[in-house]
Amino acid sequence: MNHLRGIAAVAILAAVGAVTVPCAPASSAPAAASATVHPVSAAELGATWRPGCPVAPTALRRVELDYLGFDGNMHRGQLVVNQDIVDDVIAIFNDLTRLRYPVEKMRTVEHYRGAEDELSMRDNNTSAFNCRVLADGWSVHAYGRAVDINPLINPYIDASGDLQPTTAARYLDRRRDDLGLLHGGDAAVRAFTSRGWRWGGDWHNPIDYQHFETG
C-alpha cells in the first residue's frame, strides 16, 4: 500500500468518535490476586539488560500480577519496570481487570530469542523493560518506564511506513472490533492517562497504539 496514505488513514480512523473496546467474555467481575514485587539481577534480566544500559538491575523490579486473558479467565504474568512506577503499574492493571480489558499474554522479553522486540510484538505479548536503543537515543523502555500492551493488535507505524510488528498491517484499520484493540477515549486508555502517562496513540508521527510511558 502507499504508506503515506496509510498513515493518513490511520490518523483519520483514530479521530473517529470513541469506539467501545470489546471486553473478554465472562458473566461476572474477575477476582485478581494481590500483585507481588521482587528485585531482579542481571542474570535474571538476560538479554534485556547489558552493561552500559541507563538503569542498573537494582533500579528495576519484577512485578507479578494477575490479568484477564482473551479466554475470559485470570492468568498470572510478569512485567519488569522501574522501581519508581511499581505502584502505578499495579494500580493500572487492577483497573484494567476491573474494566474487563483483556491481555493476551504477559511475559518478560528475555523469553524471546535475543530479547528481540519484534518477536515479542508478533506474539501479542504485553511487556515493559527492554534495554533498546533508538535512532535518537535510549528507548523509554530502557529505563523501565514504558509498557507496550497487546502490541500485535495495537501496532506502531510512522510516516515512512515502518510498521511494528511487521505482521500487523490488518490492525491499522482501527474500526476493527478485536479483543484488546485500543481507541482514544477508551476507559483502558484512561487507566493510564488519568495517572499522567502518555499514550502513543495520541501521537501524529509515529503513531504507537501499544505504547504508554511516564516520567
Give the DSSP per-residue string, the chain: --HHHHHHHHHHHHHSSP-PPPPPP-SS---PPPPEEEE--HHHHGGG--TT-SS-GGGEEEEEEEEE-TTSSEEEEEEEEEGGGHHHHHHHHHHHHHTT---SEE--GGGSGGG-HHHHHHTTEEB-----EETTEE-GGGGT-EEE-STTTS-EE-TT--EESTT-GGGG-TT---TT---TT-HHHHHHHTTT-EEGGG-SSSEETTEEE--
The total number of structural domains in the chain stands at 1
pLDDT tens column, 101-151: 999 999 999 999 999 999 999 999 999 999 999 988 999 999 999 999 999
CA distances to 61, 64, 158, 214 from 155, in Å: 26, 25, 10, 19
What is the residue range of 199's domain?
Answer: 3-213
What the block records as the C-alpha cell of 104 is: 493476551
pLDDT tens column, 72-103: 999 999 999 999 999 999 999 999 999 999 99
What's the pLDDT band for 4 if we cut at 50, 70, 90?
A: very low
Is the pLDDT confidence value at 2 over 60?
no
**Residue 62 · residue 37 · CB < 8 Å:** yes
Mean pLDDT computed over 15-28: 50
What's the pLDDT band for 28 if we cut at 50, 70, 90?
A: low
pLDDT in the model for residue 32: 72
What's the pLDDT band for 17 if we cut at 50, 70, 90?
A: very low
Average pLDDT of the chain is 90
CA triplet 185, 106, 16: central angle to 5 degrees? 20
The model's pTM is: 0.87
pLDDT exceeding 70 applies to what percent of the chain?
A: 86
CA dihedral of residues 30, 155, 215, 84 (deg, nearest 10): 40
**Residue 100 · residue 130 · CB < 8 Å:** no
Is the pLDDT confidence value at 33 over 80?
yes
